[in-house]
Amino acid sequence: MLDTFMLSRIQFAANISFHILFPTITIAMCWFLCYFKVRFDLSGHPMWMRAYRFWVKVFALTFALGVVSGITMSFQFGTNWPGFMETVGNIAGPLLGYEVLTAFFLEATFLGVMLFGMGRVPNKVHTFSTFMVAIGTSLSAFWILALNSWMQTPTGFEMRDGVAHATDWWAIIFNPSFPYRLTHMLIASGLTASFFIAGLSAYRLLKGDEKKAPRVALKTALVVAAILAPTQAFVGDLHGLNTLEHQPQKIAAIEGVWHTEKGAPLVLFGIPDEEQQTTHYAIEIPKMASLILTHEWDGELQGLNEFEGNHPPVAPMFFGFRIMVGVGMLMIAASWLGCWFWWRKRELPSWMYRGLIAMTFSGWIATLAGWYVTEIGRQPWLVTGVLTTADAVTTVPNTSVATSLALYLTLYTVLIIAYLRTLLVMSNRAIELEEYQSPTATAIQSSAINAEAKA
């Protein structure tokens, strides 16, 4: 059987991969909800309320999965990686603490008012609560990415007796890779939520839902995606340059640069072979990697040969990065095409609806691929230059870890199936609702809206 170290790594990867699926939707989706709610407050048009009402239910379900899988995460450090807190606890602890104090309580408490409080509080307070939840989810991303970025590019500390001590909190939070990683992740969440909303709305429209709500939701999501997708390519490039400066071995693995060279080609695709230190069947654009990363045709790129024994495994980095970029390109194309059709014809051809349905969870693929690149790319370190992953692992017997891992995997499989099925049930149910006739909400309609609001 695998040893405690490998099992713990797999367990951590499984837990965090499952967890990220849900926040990556909810962080941005809550801002969509704010938008729907504000549009309703301003116009009084029931279609905005309809859109809010449908998506807030999806939000509640997704958020619940995020919360419970997040609780698991908070226990992982202690159960499987005690060396992490023992070595860098003085820094990681306060960052996690601030996440709980400023973000978790805010979102959890106002979520109650947002979901169930509409009839009980003035409308303004309800809109305010929606904003508080959105701020909470985004703050949570702020703190956890501050910690993750610090693990990638640690600054603002000194080592005393093998334990990290904070010297400058500003430098710890705003460490060199943090602004890039935070922006990259927030936009990733925006894209994930956009394609998620677009996909489910397209499904409803294709199934003959003729109400206005799915149409405005689809339009909003397409416009947001069309803006964010190219922005993400630009931010991603900046993030890459930042990584080149601070973690060149990561870039070397991503690009498959085996030996330091000038005018390195951009490998579009190939099969990296770590043993023979070469990429088979490589399709290359000459000098392009050097141009992108150094902005010079003959710029020098450090190769993996300079980081022997100290660089991440090449294959997952190489493929993960290409999957992420590929999905990103697809997102640019799909969102622009969708917007063009909408602008010209006020609707999409049915093949386009099908395409968007197929891309409902494209954000998950890109996000996971991107996180695998950045996290595997830090190996063999847990905290770059400070603590290796192998040194942080627990002494718990491997049978215990195997048991807990089996438990989690079973649970996650069941839950993901239940989640997807429930989304389908909710969408089908929404299709069958009747449309409101009048363009503005009246008192009678408000009560009709409430009557249908039963969870």
Partner 1 sequence: MSEAQWLPIVFVGLMGLAVLLYAILDGYDLGVGILLPNDNEQQRDTMIASIGPFWDANETWLVLAIGLLLIAFPEAHSEVMRELYLPTAIMLAGLILRGVAFDFRAKVALENKRMWDHIFRAGSLITSLSQGYMLGMYVMGFEYTAEAIGFSILSALGVTAAYAYIGAAWLVMKTEGELQVRAAKWGRRCGWTCLAGIIAVCAVNPLVNPAVFEKWFTFPFVVAMGMIPITCLAMFAIVDRVLKKVPLPDDFGCWLPFVCAVIIFVLCFQGLAFSFYPYIVPGKIDIWQAASAPESLMFILYGAVIVVPVILAYTAFSYRVFWGKATELKYY
Cα–Cα dist 128/131, whole Å? 5
CB of 296 to partner 1, least distance (A): 43
Token readout for 1 is 């059987």
Please tell me whether residue 176 adopts helix, strand or coil conformation.
coil
CA atoms within 13 A on the CB side of 195: 33
Contact in structure between 91 and 54 (CB atoms under 8 Å): no
**Nearest approach, Cβ of residue 376 and partner 1 (Å):** 25
Q: Which is nearer to partner 1, 12 or 342 (CB)?
A: 12
Q: 108 or 238, CB closer to partner 1? A: 108
Q: Which is nearer to partner 1, 440 or 450 (CB)?
A: 450
Return the axis-axis angle of helices 398-431 and 46-80, rounded to nearest 10°.
Answer: 180
* Dist. CA 355–CA 422, nearest whole Å: 21
Q: Considering beta carbons, is residue 58 or 228 the nearer one to partner 1?
A: 58
Q: CB of residue 56 vs partner 1: minimum separation in angstroms?
A: 6
Give whichever of 90 and 231 is closer to partner 1, judged by the CB atom. Answer: 90
What distances in angstroms separate CA 53 from CA 36, 110, 118, 186, one per listed residue? 9, 17, 11, 24
Question: CB 190 → partner 1: shortest distance, Å?
Answer: 24
- Nearest residue to 173 (alpha-carbon basis) of 94, 267, 56: 94
Instruction: CB nearer to partner 1: give 305 or 400.
Output: 400
Min separation Cβ 6 and partner 1, Å: 17
Distance, CA of 225 to CA of 421 (rounded, Å): 25
Taking the complex as a whole, the smallest distance from the CB of residue 31 to partner 1 amounts, in Å, to 19
**Rounded Cα gap, residues 144 and 139, in angstroms:** 9
Bond into 23 cis (ω within 30): no
Q: Residue 351's CB: how many other CB atoms inside 10 A?
A: 8
Q: How far is the CB of 397 from partner 1 (least distance, A)?
A: 9
Q: Is the dihedral of CA 416, 422, 426, 429 positive or negative?
A: positive
Nearest alpha-carbon partner for 148 in 380, 374, 388: 374
Task: Name which of 13 and 85 has its Cβ closer to partner 1.
Answer: 85
Ramachandran angles phi, psi of 355, nearest 5°: -60, -45
Residue 108: CB minimum distance to partner 1, A: 4
Amino acid letter for position 75: F
Least separation in angstroms between CB 212 and partner 1? 19
Distance in angstroms (rounded) separating the CA atoms of residues 156 and 168: 5
**In terms of CB distance, is 36 or 321 closer to partner 1?**
36
Nearer to partner 1, 38 or 339 (CB): 38
AA identity, residue 195: F
CB of 124 to partner 1, least distance (A): 14
Q: At its nearest, how many Å lie between partner 1 and the CB of residue 183?
A: 24
What CA–CA distance (Å, rounded) separates 392 from 4? 11
Q: Which one, 43 or 74, has the nearer CB to partner 1?
A: 74
DSSP H or E run through 4: helix 4-21
**106 sits in which H/E element:** helix 105-116
Question: Minimal CA–CA distance to 353: which of 221, 170, 249?
Answer: 221
Close Cβ partners of 231 (under 8 Å, ≥ 6 residues apart) = 187
Nearer to partner 1, 44 or 270 (CB): 44
Q: Which of 69, 70, 71, 60 is nearest to 26 (CA)?
A: 60
